[in-house]
Chains A and B, each alone.
Chain A
Amino acid sequence: MAKELWKGNEAIAEAAIRAGCRCYFGYPITPQSEIPEYMARHMPAAGGVFLQSESEIAAINMVYGASGAGARVMTSSSSPGISLKQEGISYMCGAELPAVIVNVMRGGPGLGTIQPAQGDYYQATRGGGNGDYRLIVLAPATIQEVVDLMQEAFDLADQYRNPVMMLLDGMIGQMMEPVEWRHTPATDLPEKTWATTGTGGKRPPNIINSLFIDPDECNRHNQRLEAKYQQIREHVIRYDVEGLEEADLLFVAYGTPSRLARAAARLLSEEGIKAGVFRPISVWPYPYDALHQAASRDSVKAVVTVEMSTGQMVDDVRIGVNGIKPVSFIGQAGGVIPTPREVADAAKKALGR
């Protein structure tokens, strides 16, 4: 099929509709407002529901209700708005409801800036809401990957009855790239027998709930959730690695910085230094073992993490590398994007050159 030029935010909205999403609730915030705008234009024709809510809090709770009622549903926002959604995300994890939540990250903390950043990594992967819960977090690096992952995001959410976050930096949301629409058939998914659709007088009531007032019961609920998260850790790891053969150095980066790392690797190759790029696509669950293996290669002398933050994913890199090679960090925050030259220089410093 011919390639088409798509803006990231609009591509993600279109990909969601193609993935069978028929319900969107959201609130405007830069740099992701093209998502609700696109949904407002196209969701009615797809026979779905678009609703602009009074707040991000209301939006995530509408998602909570719609998901409970069995709909394939999503919301999107950017960093400060995602903060407001944390309560609802925690409830959805507790009540085990599927949904896709898109975060087109901008600079923080607080109101920060509207420029691209990756400062919400801890919030996405460690949980910004209360309690022991996990989100499946997917971090595409190109607009093609955005649209390819969207179907999978919805399917994983349904399969595991858990929210999935698409973690994009604002660069991915705002830029345009060629996209090829590939047909990705939905996987066989279990019927939503738990949904609150009305008993019809034919079955006992379904209850969507995250309250377990008895501590033993609440503990059992937590242990059961943890067992599910362990299944996810075993089955949902996604990553990409390139240039590993005889690499002197390993870059680790997700999203836009992974593309900066590739550009830096090209600069370094002109100076006779070979750099590989390890790119986590699922940042929860994190590909610790694959990273460890890549870093274990004899040729690799140093691991350099590149982020558009002051250093958050680098914690996971250190866990994965586990001391077998030195790990260093290069990054800029608050909407400033590191240049390939800066990244290449940081790599040389890490190699002692």
Chain B
Amino acid sequence: MAIVYEKSIGLTDVEMHYCPGCTHGVIHKLVAETLVELDVLGKTIGVAPVGCAVFAYDYFNCDMHEAAHGRAPAVATGIKRVLPESTVFTYQGDGDLAAIGTAEIIHAAMRGEKITTIFVNNAVYGMTGGQMAPTTLVGQKATTAPFGRSMEHYGAPIRMAELLATIDGAAYIERVTVTTPAHIAKAKRAIKKAFTIQEQGLGFTMIEVLSTCPTNWGMTPVEALGWLNDTMIPAFPLGVFRDVTKKEA
């Protein structure tokens, strides 16, 4: 019988710790497949964050460097500047990238660091148990916003893709999701494009992936997919926000 599908060799055999219904596993798979398809796995160094993906260093089948909370873009900068021919990516959550590591991501983009950031936005701090994130929606409940995020108290969620798209050093910025097969295919194309642009040395690239957190959202996996599609996407519109490979109109 012919083999029609196999787990990517870009992933190790270590069993992932992610919760049922969480989309981190899908996103890991897309990154791993991309590294294999572009034939860069052997020269890739990944930078793992602090947050749900903290053990990513055990899952990707390439050299990995675990960073302090929010510092992945600085760590990636150090690696890429030493090894300019290597492929370097960071894999970060919303607390890591949009709260404690805001300065690091903005300045990595400003310098046009030739790295790819996979930004997993699930509107909540997952690993620590469902606290409010900078991307938590107004009205969304979190353990540190038990009555829902108040606009008056905390402001509105930050849209990092749009923000980073204003920076000249950014070469490619897109927001995708992985809630349907069609979205997954589109996310794969986005991730592949970002890594391709990194290989071309055009600048900083980031793919923001809207991701589910059934555990901390208090939903079933199916409900979580629906909530993401119906509630998160309107607040975080999907699309390409910057693409230097396209000529300005």
Chain A interfacial positions (CB closer than 8 Å to B)? 23, 25, 49, 51, 53-55, 57-59, 61-71, 73, 87-88, 91, 95, 196-202, 205-211
Q: Residue B54 at the A interface, CB < 8 A?
A: yes
Closest to B48 in A: A209
User: Which B residues from 60 to 78 make CB contacts under 8 A with A?
Assistant: 60-68, 71, 74-78
- Of the candidates A70, A201, A211, the one whose C-beta lies within 8 Å of that of B54 is A211
Q: Residue B41 at the A interface, CB < 8 A?
A: yes
A55 CA / B12 CA spacing, docked (Å): 35
User: Which B residues from 1 to 57 make CB contacts under 8 A with A?
Assistant: 12, 41-45, 47, 54, 57
Q: Residue B107 at the A interface, CB < 8 A?
A: yes
User: Which B residues from 104 to 118 make CB contacts under 8 A with A?
Assistant: 104, 106-107, 111
A53 CA / B41 CA spacing, docked (Å): 28
What's the least CB distance linking B45 to chain A, in Å?
Answer: 5
- Of the candidates A53, A63, A65, the one whose C-beta lies within 8 Å of that of B76 is A65
List 8 A–B pairs whose Cβ atoms lie within 8 Å, in order of A's numbering: A53-B74, A54-B107, A62-B81, A65-B79, A65-B82, A66-B79, A197-B83, A198-B87
A69 CA / B104 CA spacing, docked (Å): 19
> Contacts of B12 on A, CB cut-off 8 Å?
205
Contact A49 B82 (CB under 8 A): yes
A198 CA / B45 CA spacing, docked (Å): 6
From B47, B66, B106, B107, residue with most partner A Cβ within 10 Å: B66
User: Which B residues from 190 to 228 make CB contacts under 8 A with A?
Assistant: none
A202 CA / B62 CA spacing, docked (Å): 11
Q: Residue B135 at the A interface, CB < 8 A?
A: no
Contact B79 A207 (CB under 8 A): no
Contact B107 A69 (CB under 8 A): no
Contact B44 A198 (CB under 8 A): yes
Contact B65 A199 (CB under 8 A): no
Contact A61 B57 (CB under 8 A): no
A198 CA / B60 CA spacing, docked (Å): 12
A-B CB proximity, top 4 nearest = A65-B78, A61-B74, A66-B78, A65-B75
A197 CA / B81 CA spacing, docked (Å): 12
Contact A69 B79 (CB under 8 A): yes
Q: Residue B156 at the A interface, CB < 8 A?
A: no
Contact B75 A62 (CB under 8 A): yes
A197 CA / B86 CA spacing, docked (Å): 8
A61 CA / B67 CA spacing, docked (Å): 8
Contact B64 A205 (CB under 8 A): yes
Known: A70-B82, A198-B62, A200-B42. 4 other contacts (CB 8 A): A54-B107, A69-B79, A198-B42, A209-B64
Closest to B44 in A: A198
> Contacts of A55 on B, CB cut-off 8 Å?
103
What's the least CB distance linking A231 to chain B, in Å?
Answer: 25
A73 CA / B106 CA spacing, docked (Å): 24
Contact A53 B107 (CB under 8 A): yes
Also in contact, A196 and B65, with CB within 8 A (given A49-B81, A49-B82, A61-B75): yes
A49 CA / B107 CA spacing, docked (Å): 17
Closest to B60 in A: A205
A69 CA / B77 CA spacing, docked (Å): 11
A70 CA / B78 CA spacing, docked (Å): 10
Contact B47 A65 (CB under 8 A): yes
Contact B68 A91 (CB under 8 A): yes
Also in contact, A198 and B63, with CB within 8 A (given A25-B78, A68-B79): yes
Contact B42 A62 (CB under 8 A): no
What's the least CB distance linking B248 to chain A, in Å?
Answer: 28
A71 CA / B65 CA spacing, docked (Å): 14
Contact A58 B103 (CB under 8 A): yes
> Contacts of B103 on A, CB cut-off 8 Å?
54-55, 57-58
From A55, A73, A88, A196, residue with most partner B Cβ within 10 Å: A196
Contact A69 B82 (CB under 8 A): yes
Contact A196 B45 (CB under 8 A): yes
- Of the candidates A25, A68, A88, the one whose C-beta lies within 8 Å of that of B65 is A68
> Contacts of B107 on A, CB cut-off 8 Å?
53-54, 58
From B58, B79, B87, residue with most partner A Cβ within 10 Å: B79
Also in contact, A63 and B64, with CB within 8 A (given A198-B42, A199-B42, A201-B42): no
